[in-house]
């Protein structure tokens, strides 16, 4: 094998590795037909996504939306977002801006996680997607002040002060509600 052939093979192998890395994780070995993509800043939305998957008998892969990768083999997509200052998570916004047309007809469910668990945030999320799936659910999240970035800490401290409420840790998550939503999704896609 000549030096030129070796160089070409080396470059092709490197390009293949790079493309695989850019595409994100491969599909699960189990060949699951559903994936839950979430945008989470401090972990409440990720935990909610994992509980929903558990309610689906773990028949869905769970991925951070910024690591969505190739979704072509998934028949069903569930999208979840944390809500920050009344807005959909920036990773989810970026994903929808880039790939909405590719995925919107396969999205079977949306969920939003916020401190209050307000249903109104689902409308904002559905608008970003460009459609409103039949299955939607708002969940409460949690906050640990010691986990907040300096910027978020300062902003939330001011918010709570202006609203005359105590600025303290809270946990409004509800595992059973997440499991039930997962069972609803599983029933709808079977």
Q: Using an 8 Å Cβ cutoff, are 97 and 68 in contact?
A: no
In this prediction the pTM is: 0.81
Please list the pLDDT of the chain residue by residue as tens digits (190 residues): 544 444 433 334 333 333 333 344 444 445 789 999 999 998 999 999 999 999 999 999 999 999 999 999 999 999 999 998 888 999 999 999 999 999 989 999 999 999 877 888 999 899 999 999 999 999 999 999 999 899 989 988 998 899 899 999 989 999 999 999 999 999 999 8
pLDDT of residue 122: 92
Give one word for 161, left, alpha or beta, with left for phi > 0 and alpha for psi -120 to 50. alpha
| Residue 8: predicted pLDDT | 38
The full set of domain ranges for the chain reads 30-142+172-189
Interatomic CA distance for residues 159 and 24, integer angstroms: 37
- What pLDDT was estimated at residue 27? 43
Rounded to an integer, what distance in angstroms lies between the CA atom of residue 93 and that of residue 62?
Answer: 18
User: H/E/C letters for each residue in 53-122?
Assistant: HHHCCCCEEEEEHHHCCCCCCCCEEEEEEEEECCEECHHHHHHHHHHHHHHHHHEEEEEEEECCCCCHHH
Q: CA 75 to CA 172: how far, in whole Å? A: 32
Options 3.40.630.30, 3.50.50.60, 3.40.50.360, 3.30.310.50; which CATH number does 30-142+172-189 get?
A: 3.40.50.360
């Amino acid at each position: 094998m000549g030096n030129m052939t070796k160089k070409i093979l080396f470059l092709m192998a490197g390009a293949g590795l790079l493309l695989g890395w850019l595409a994100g994780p491969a599909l699960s070995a189990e060949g699951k037909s559903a994936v839950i993509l979430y945008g989470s800043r401090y972990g409440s939305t990720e935990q909610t996504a994992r509980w929903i998957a558990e309610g689906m008998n773990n028949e869905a892969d769970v991925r951070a939306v910024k690591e969505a990768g190739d979704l072509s083999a998934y028949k069903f997509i569930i999208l979840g977002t944390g809500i920050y200052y009344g807005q959909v998570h920036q990773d989810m916004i970026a994903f929808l801006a880039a790939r909405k047309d590719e995925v919107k007809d396969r999205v079977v469910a949306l969920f939003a996680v916020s401190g209050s668990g307000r249903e109104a945030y689902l409308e904002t999320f559905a608008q970003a997607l460009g459609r409103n799936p039949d299955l939607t659910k708002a969940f409460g999240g949690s906050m640990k002040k010691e986990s907040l970035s300096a910027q978020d800490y300062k902003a939330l401290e001011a918010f709570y002060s202006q609203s005359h409420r105590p600025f303290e840790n809270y946990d409004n998550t509800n595992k059973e509600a997440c499991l039930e939503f997962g069972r609803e999704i599983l029933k709808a896609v079977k």
